[in-house]
Structures are given as C-alpha cells and as structure tokens.
C-alpha cells in the first residue's frame, strides 16, 4: 500500500458520497480486517464519514496458501496464533482508528477453509502439505461450502472438534475450519467487542440443506432469528 492509494480511496468514496446523496442511495464498502492494511490503506475518519456502512472482511485470516492449518474466521484470538487474526481485534481496531461502531458490519463466512495435513498431527497449527481436496459440489480445492461441511460431518463421518470459538472437522489427512450455528449465533448475537453488530453474510451458493441436515438454510435462518430476537 502506498500513501496515494490511501488518498485515492478516500477521494473516491467522497466523490461517490456526493453523487449518491441526492439520489438517496446507500454507500457501503467491503474493507480489510488486516491491521497493516487498515493502518496504511485507509483514512478511517474520512472514509467512515463518507460511508453508510463499513463491511469488515473478517474472514480468510488463514487459508491453504499457508503451511499450517488454522481457523480462517475466529471471533476471538485463538491460542498460539496472532491476536490480530480475529474479528474482535478487527472491529476494535477500526473503532480505535475512528470508525463509528454503528456503521460496522461484521463479515460472517458460510464456507470453510481446508488443508491436506502433512502428518498425523491434526491440531490447530499442524503442518499442511497443501489445500484440502475439492468438495463434491463446489469442486474447489482449499475451500468447502457450508453444505459440503455438513455432508462431510453428517454423511461421511468426519470428526468435529469444537475448540472454543473455532470448530473444525478432520478425517484422515483432511482438515477444515468453519463457522457452525453456535459460532454464527455468537458473532451475530453478542458480536465482537461485546456489542450486537450487523452481519455481512459471505455466501457461496447457499442451497437448502434439508437434504443433508433436515433444516432449511440453517446459518441464514439462525442469523435472522438472532437479529429479530
């Protein structure tokens, strides 16, 4: 990131604000949850003033481009990992830099990040040899949609490990971290920083899951229920 990138983004959103306001249009932006990008890439007070909502990309903190397995969207820091790689840290850092909490929208992924393990160790932080094998529907190496995670767990018998805020599944040399219903409930209900945040749902082809779990859109419906309660 360069200083002119930061300035250019600020000027761009301010120009859009000027054009959108007379038409009554909302102006939002999906922004980074990385501390280094936030610090160098955004004039937070100015950007926050221009935007109606700030959608935090609080996911993909980790992925198969790395050589160790880790949950890609933890709500709070995971022991043994950088405290910066969590939704709570990202929310607090945006607020610290000058963003109004009411404008922040928390990103909630409806997919998991997967790896192929390099050895018998399947704990968080274990060595990986590459991306996880493609799922049966999305056919995307290193990523499983939530319904593919449900298939792996409920049909194929993958083992679920619930470690605090970040569940994952394992089977032989496969490992996938994802958000389940309990995780989404915590993110949407209590949220980061102890307050209730809106949620940006990052969705990859959300199908009805009744064929696999006997529930319709479990993550989406649970999010709606928490919002309305």
Tokens for 215, please give them: 């529930």
The pLDDT, as a whole number, for residue 80 is 81
pTM: 0.85
Predicted pLDDT at 207? 43
CB atoms within 10 A of CB 47: 24
Listed as ranges, residues in the chain with pLDDT below 70 are 1-4, 164, 190-216, 222, 224-229
- Assigned CATH class of 3-228: alpha beta
How confident is the model at residue 82, as a pLDDT? 87
pLDDT the model gives residue 186 = 85
| Contact (CB, 8 A) for 154 and 169 | no
d(C-alpha 116, C-alpha 122), whole Å: 10
Looking at residue 22, its pLDDT comes to 96
pLDDT value at residue 220: 73
For residue 43, the number of C-alpha atoms closer than 13 Å in the C-beta half-sphere is 17
Contact 71, 124 (CB under 8 A): yes
pLDDT value at residue 68: 97
- Backbone φ, ψ for residue 176 (5° rounding): -140, 130
Question: What number of CA atoms fall less than 13 Å from residue 83's CA on the CB side?
Answer: 3
Residue closest to 37 by CA, chosen among 47, 27, 28:
47
Q: What is the 3-state secondary structure (H, E, C) of 141-185?
A: CCEEEHHHHHHHHHHCCCEEEEECCEEEEEECCEEEECCCHHHHH
Write down the pLDDT at residue 204.
41
Task: HSE, CB side, 13 Å, CA atoms: give it for residue 91.
Answer: 27
Secondary structure (3-state) at 20: helix
How many helices (H) and strands (E) would you count in the chain?
8, 10
């Amino acid at each position: 990131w360069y200083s002119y990138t930061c300035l250019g983004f600020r000027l761009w959103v301010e120009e859009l604000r000027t054009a959108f306001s007379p038409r009554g249009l909302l102006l939002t932006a999906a922004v980074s949850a990385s501390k280094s990008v936030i610090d160098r890439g955004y004039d937070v007070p100015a950007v926050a003033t221009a935007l109606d909502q700030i959608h935090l990309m609080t996911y993909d903190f980790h992925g198969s481009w790395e050589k160790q397995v880790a949950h890609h969207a933890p709500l709070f820091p995971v022991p043994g990992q950088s405290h910066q790689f969590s939704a709570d840290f990202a929310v607090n850092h945006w607020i610290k830099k000058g963003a109004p909490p009411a404008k922040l929208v928390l990103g909630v992924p409806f997919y998991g990040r997967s790896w192929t393990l390099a050895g018998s160790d399947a704990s968080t932080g274990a060595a990986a040899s590459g991306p996880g094998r493609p799922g049966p529907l999305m056919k995307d190496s290193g990523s499983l949609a939530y319904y593919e995670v449900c298939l792996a767990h409920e049909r194929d018998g993958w083992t679920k490990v619930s470690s605090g805020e970040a569940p994952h599944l394992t089977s032989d040399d496969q490992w996938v971290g994802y958000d389940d219903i309990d995780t989404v409930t915590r993110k949407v209900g209590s949220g980061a920083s102890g307050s209730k945040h809106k949620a940006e749902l990052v969705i990859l082809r959300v199908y009805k899951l009744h064929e696999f779990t006997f529930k319709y859109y479990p993550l989406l419906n649970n999010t709606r229920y928490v919002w309305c309660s």
